[in-house]
């Protein structure tokens, strides 16, 4: 399996500031994804981050608000910019890996963000 | 567009009861379907997945799911639940970009 770590695990931030979330994987993976899980809601894809290309954002998410970096095959960052209380969520990094048993997507532990 | 719906928001069962959680998807092509579980304070873990072949899929911890193409369903079952099965369960379908599209989740509470 792929082991994913995220930093920070949680943070409390002030409105108008920015937070960068780091995602580290223990193996090289091509596809990485960033999801958001708002309180009481399911997971929603923010963007797909493939190494060597620009991130692809889902409808409702824009690069100015959620810039993503993917400098290599084991690391990515997501920045939540100019935060407001509506950005309070759990942000999750995930990767896709293919085994002999087929494709599987692994998830990090998440970053719990509270914006005051 | 692909989507997933889970019928039950919160299910409460006593230990040893049987479990079935509903999941329906909308997509007419080849589907890859998943059930994930999130135990309290832990991250998402894969329970089982369906890609092709036998529509009855067996996963970890005694869970199984049946893919019924004609009903666009992928319901999760367990014959006898335990208190340790208390968690939130998410059904998901693989999207065109390789991402997962999740249902809203079902919270399962098992009373000892």
Is the C-alpha dihedral spanning A81, A33, B42, A60 positive or negative?
Answer: positive
- Of all residues in chain B, the percent with pLDDT exceeding 70 is 99
The pair of structure tokens assigned to A109 is 């532990």
Question: Is the Cβ pair A43, B46 closer than 8 Å?
Answer: no
Spatial separation of the C-alpha atoms in residues B21 and B19, rounded to whole Å: 7
Convert the pLDDT of each residue in A50-75 to its tens digit. 887 889 999 999 999 999 999 999 99
User: Is B26:B7 a contact under the CB 8 Å cutoff?
Assistant: no
Least Cα distance to A8 among A25, A20, A18 occurs for A20
Spatial separation of the C-alpha atoms in residues A47 and B72, rounded to whole Å: 27
On chain A, the residues whose CB falls within 8 A of the CB of B44 are 43, 92, 107
Least Cα distance to A83 among A10, A8, A9, A12 occurs for A12
pLDDT for B98: 84
User: What average pLDDT score do residues A81-97 get?
Assistant: 95
Question: Is the Cβ pair B49, A31 closer than 8 Å?
Answer: no
Question: pLDDT at residue A105 above 70?
Answer: yes
Q: Which residue of B has its CA nearest to A107?
A: B44
Least confident of A19-23, A79-83, A104-108, B65-69: A104-108
pLDDT for A13: 97
On chain A, the residues whose CB falls within 8 A of the CB of B36 are 107
Spatial separation of the C-alpha atoms in residues A71 and B42, rounded to whole Å: 28
How near does any CA of chain B get to the CA of A27, in Å?
Answer: 18
- Pairing mode of beta strands A19-25, A4-7: antiparallel
pLDDT band at B95 (very low <50, low <70, confident <90, very high): confident
Question: pLDDT at residue A8 above 70?
Answer: yes
Question: pLDDT at residue B82 above 80?
Answer: yes
User: Is B43:A90 a contact under the CB 8 Å cutoff?
Assistant: no
Question: pLDDT at residue B107 above 80?
Answer: yes
Q: Which residue of A has its CA nearest to B51?
A: A102
Q: Looking at the complex, does the CB of residue B59 fall below 8 Å from at least one CB of chain A?
A: no
- Looking at per-residue pLDDT, the higher value among B39 and A1 belongs to B39
Question: pLDDT at residue A101 above 70?
Answer: no
For residue B60, give every residue at least 6 positions away whose Cβ sits within 8 Å of its Cβ, in sequence order, or none. Answer: B46, B47, B48
Q: Looking at the complex, does the CB of residue A97 fall below 8 Å from at least one CB of chain B?
A: no
User: What average pLDDT score do residues B67-87 get?
Assistant: 96
How near does any CA of chain A get to the CA of B15, in Å?
Answer: 25
Convert the pLDDT of each residue in B58-69 to its tens digit. 999 999 999 999
Q: Looking at the complex, does the CB of residue A102 fall below 8 Å from at least one CB of chain B?
A: yes
pLDDT for A98: 77
Task: Tell me whether the omega of the peptide bond preceding residue B48 falls within 30 degrees of 0, making it cis.
Answer: no
pLDDT for B29: 78
pLDDT for A6: 96
Q: Report DSSP letters for A6-26, one per residue.
A: EE-SEEEE-TT--EEEEEEES
The pair of structure tokens assigned to A33 is 């994804």
Question: pLDDT at residue A99 above 80?
Answer: no
Convert the pLDDT of each residue in B7-50 to its tens digit. 889 999 999 999 999 999 998 778 899 999 999 888 899 999 99
């Amino acid at each position: 399996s792929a082991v994913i770590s995220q930093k920070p695990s949680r943070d409390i931030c002030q409105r108008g500031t920015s937070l960068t979330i780091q995602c580290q994987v223990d193996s090289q993976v091509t596809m990485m994804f960033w999801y958001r899980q708002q309180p009481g809601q399911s997971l929603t894809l923010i963007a797909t981050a493939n190494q060597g290309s620009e991130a692809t954002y889902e409808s409702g998410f824009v690069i100015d608000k959620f810039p993503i970096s993917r400098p290599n095959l084991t690391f990515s960052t997501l920045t939540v910019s100019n935060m407001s209380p509506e950005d309070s969520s759990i942000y999750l990094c995930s990767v896709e890996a293919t085994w002999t048993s087929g494709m599987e997507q692994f998830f990090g532990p998440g970053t719990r963000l509270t914006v005051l | 567009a692909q989507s997933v719906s889970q019928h039950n928001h919160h299910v409460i069962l006593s230990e040893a009861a049987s479990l079935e959680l509903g999941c329906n998807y909308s997509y007419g092509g080849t589907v890859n379907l998943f059930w994930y579980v999130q135990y309290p304070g832990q991250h998402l873990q894969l329970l089982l997945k369906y890609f092709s072949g036998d529509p009855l899929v067996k996963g970890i911890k005694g869970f199984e799911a049946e893919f019924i193409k004609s009903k666009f369903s992928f319901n999760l079952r367990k014959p006898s639940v335990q208190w340790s099965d208390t968690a939130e369960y998410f059904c998901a379908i693989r999207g065109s970009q390789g991402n997962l599209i999740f249902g809203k989740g079902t919270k399962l509470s098992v009373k000892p």
